[in-house]
Each structure stands twice: as C-alpha cells, then as structure tokens.
Amino acid sequence: MSPPALATRSSSPRAPAPPATRGPTCSSTGTTTCSRSIPSNSGRAPFEPVVKPASGDVGERIVARGAVDDKGQVATFLEALRAWKETTGEVAAGVRFTVLLEGEEESGSVNLERFVAQHAKRLGKCAVCLISDTGMLGRGKPAITYGVRGLSYTEVVLHASNQDLHSGMWGGRCPNPISELVKVLAQLWDKDRKISIPGFYEGVRDLTSAEREAWKKLGFDQIDALKKIGMGPEADVGEKGFTALEREWARPTAELNGIIGGYTGKGAKTVIPAHASAKVSFRLVDDQDPRKLTERFFAWCRERTPPGCRWEFIDHSGGDPATVATDSPVLAAARRALKAASGGAEAALIKTGGSIPVAGMLKKQLGLETIFMGFGLDDDRVHSPNEKFELDCFRLGARAHVLLIDELRSMSEA
C-alpha cells in the first residue's frame, strides 16, 4: 500500500478560492513510493513501465514496480484533474484540491507526521481525504474500502558471542543465536495460530454477525486466490475460527517479513554466528495501538531472553488502523461516481488487510475522514517483481474520479 489522494472541500467553499476557481476548494495527496529491494522485472529496469497484453484476453496491463502500488493509482486522479482542465479550463472544474505526494510510505513515512503537523492549518480546511491505494472486489467489481489495518513493524537482533564461532568446537557448548532466535519466535503463535503475546488482542472488536453475513455475500473466492499464487486449498490456514476474508479484514496477524543469520551463501560453512535477526511485523485492527503493541512485543522477547544472550530492538514504526463511516454524503457520492463509471455496477463496501497509516494520522491530527476508492486487483503482484495494473482498472479509476469531481461540484453548489 502507498498513500493518499487527499480531496478537501472547504466548508466555506468560495471564500479562500482564487478568482479562477469555482465550487469547493479541494486538495489531493498521493505517494509515489514503491516497495524497496524488489528484483528487476524480467530483466528490465524495475521502474520502467511497459504495456503488455493481459492474460486471459482482457485487454492490456502496465507492468512496472509500483504500477498499481501506488504510482498508477495516483495517476488515476491526476488524469481526472487533467481531463477537467482540458474540458473546462479549470483544474478539477474549479473544485479545490490539495495534492500531496509522499515518497516515503514504504519506508515508514518518517517525515509525514511532522509535515502534516506543520501544514495543519491548510490541510485542516479539508472536508474529506480521498485515497486511491486499495483494491476492487474483482475485475469489473468496483469497491470502496471502509477499513484498513494498522501496522507495527519491528526488528529484533539477538546477540550471543562477540565473534563467529566454529560449530565443531562450540556446537553444544554455548548458545547459538540462530537456534535461540528461532525458538523464541516460534512461540509467537499457539496451535490455533492465535498470537501468544499477553494483551495482544486488546482493542480488537468482535465481528458482528451482520458484517460476517455481508462479507459472505461478496462472493470472495479464497481457493481461487490461492491458486493464483501457486498454492492449493490446503494453504487456506490462519487464525482458527475465521474465514480467510475475516482473517484479512478483521483480525490482527504477526508476520516474519525477514530473517537472517550465519552463513547464507552456497554450500556449507560450519559457523555459529555472533548474532541473528528478524523483521517482525503486526497488522492491527480496530482500536489496537501500534505503539503499545511494539512495546508489548519487545517485553515479551525480553522475558524469553536466551541464557547468555542480549536483545537489540529496533522500532521501524507503523501506523494506526482506521475504520471510516459508511454513511457519509461524500462516500455516497463516491459510490454513485463508481457506479456510473463502471456502467452500472454497485460498488461493494469492503475492507483491506493492508495499512495506509496516513488515514489514521489525518483522523487523529485533523479529525479528517478518508474515502478509499481504489482500483487494484488481488493478483497485481504488489511488492513483487512484475507488479502490474490492468489498463481497464486504470481507466475505470480515471473515469470514476472525473465523475466524483462532478459530484463534489454539484454538492458544493447545492
């Protein structure tokens, strides 16, 4: 996931507008970062976009790192602004947008919070934030996302000896930091794949039966989704008692995103290394607090410090979960725009397991609600080599934004 198109309608639309604009002032924000360190796309420079035929004879797709997450999605609203300018001579037909492009989302958005605080006065005039960084329910099935998970991202380094050791002389005689780290991390989950950190589920709300029923009706096919990533039905595992969709949308998770220690080249080397480390992240929901969770995880590790070893903890930050109102007038307008843009398909109300920390941040700092209108598909290979964005989806996104701007103009004129 990457950030946000921030569409703002000032409550007093005309007052601060420059002479050339009509209707509400709006601002849009988006990030241009992509996930780092992904191998090149089939030999090309990773960021170089190419248009290729989509598989299954369904048009074409753009292939490039960040094609859909989030450069391509940012382009959907920039294209809409351009279209209105070409047609009416006014950017966004006079609806006032602030466009904020952020380039650090995939590396923790370390400067965004400070930036938002510094520009709180201007950004605070926004009525709503519009972000295109989420997905559709499927091809031809538009959706609006009303919840994103939060994130707590950490790194733990376990230090043992002050030098690499020979595993012949030392094997069995002192702690091996890889083995010890592995033994600690394996305790993160119980046999039902629930997370074992005490208090971890504090702030997680129970799913209502109404929500479960509504999600069931969305027709999401986990087995088909698994097939697309090369896995069989037996890979449908996760926290016991929840469907795949419930696990992604409504339940927190703990993931090991990286691990390294000792010799990792070709062949054999009989070493006991001095340290081993892992990137450990948690996706959070509802009212879970990422800062509190990070502290709880570090404390949990500390209680399990292997004999003779010491921890080094790194907090790579994260973001709050966010759930937005599903009954606001702007969200209704977005659903109308999506329906018209897609030739009559009703936009589903969905959630996502991804994190868009800026939404929680804007809510907390400025009281601003966000509309997540996104156009990605489940098989877009986000954060993977050969990430793609279907041209059909890209064009639907541009059309939907064009129509939403029209809706916003009407709303301010009403």
Residues 27-86 that bind a second copy (CB under 8 A): 35-38, 69
Nearer to a second copy (CB atom), residue 126 or residue 184: 184
How many Å apart are CA 306 and CA 311, to the nearest integer? 9
Give residue 97's Cα distance to chain centre.
23
Question: CA 118 → CA 114, 129, 362, distances in Å?
Answer: 6, 18, 13
In the bound complex, what is the minimum distance in angstroms from residue 319's beta carbon to a second copy?
Answer: 11
Q: Which amino acid makes up residue 178?
A: I
Q: Which of residues 280-319 bind a second copy (CB under 8 A)?
A: 281, 283, 307-309, 316-317
Query: Which residues in 330-359 contact a second copy (CB under 8 A)?
Result: 352-355
User: Does 276 engage in binding with a second copy (CB under 8 A)?
Assistant: yes
Neighbours of 22 (CB within 10 A): 16
Question: Which residues, other chains included, contact 391 with Cβ-Cβ below 8 Å and sequence gap of 6+?
Answer: 51, 54, 59, 60, 61, 62
From the list 43, 56, 232, 367, which residue makes contact with a second copy (rule: CB under 8 A)? 232
Q: How many CB atoms lie within 10 A of CB 341?
A: 21
Tell whether residue 363 is a contact of a second copy (CB under 8 A).
no
Strands, E assignment, 101-148: 101-102, 128-131, 143-148
d(CA 137, CA 139): 7
Q: Nearer Cβ to a second copy, position 62 or 330?
A: 62
For residues 404 and 92, give the distance between their C-alpha atoms in angstroms, rounded to a whole number: 10
260 contributes a contact to a second copy by CB under 8 A: yes
Cβ 187 vs Cβ 393: under 8 Å: no
- The rounded distance, in Å, linking the Cα atoms of 177 and 175 is 6
Interface residue with a second copy among 207, 271, 340, 391 (CB under 8 A) is 271
- Asked whether position 255 contacts a second copy by CB under 8 A, the answer is yes
3-class state of residue 314 by DSSP: strand
Query: Of 1 and 393, which has the nearer Cβ to a second copy?
Result: 1
**Could you say whether residue 189 binds a second copy (CB under 8 A)?**
yes
Stretch that binds a second copy, among 74-82, 230-238, 324-332, 392-400 (CB under 8 A): 230-238
d(CA 296, CA 282): 12
Q: Which of residues 145-184 bind a second copy (CB under 8 A)?
A: 149, 151, 153, 155, 160-176, 178-179, 182-183
CB 13 → a second copy: shortest distance, Å? 36
Q: Which stretch binds a second copy (CB under 8 A): 46-54, 91-99, 239-247, 365-373?
A: 239-247
Please give the residues from 88 up to 117 whose contact with a second copy meets the rule CB under 8 A. Answer: 106-108
Q: By CB under 8 A, tell whether 185 contacts a second copy.
A: yes
Quick check: 248 binds a second copy (CB under 8 A)?
A: yes
Nearest-CA neighbor of 116 among 131, 95, 98, 92? 98
| Diameter over CA atoms, the chain | 81
How far apart, in whole angstroms, are the C-alpha atoms of residue 84 and residue 90?
7
What tokens does 299 get? 């404390």
Q: How many residues of this chain bind a second copy (CB under 8 A)?
A: 98
Q: Provide, rounded to whole angstroms, the least separation between the CB of residue 408 and a second copy.
A: 29
Q: Which of 1, 81, 129, 156 binds a second copy (CB under 8 A)?
A: 1
Using rule CB under 8 A, residue 231 touches a second copy: yes
Establish if 367 lies at the interface with a second copy (CB under 8 A).
no
Least distance (Å) between residue 236 CB and a second copy: 7
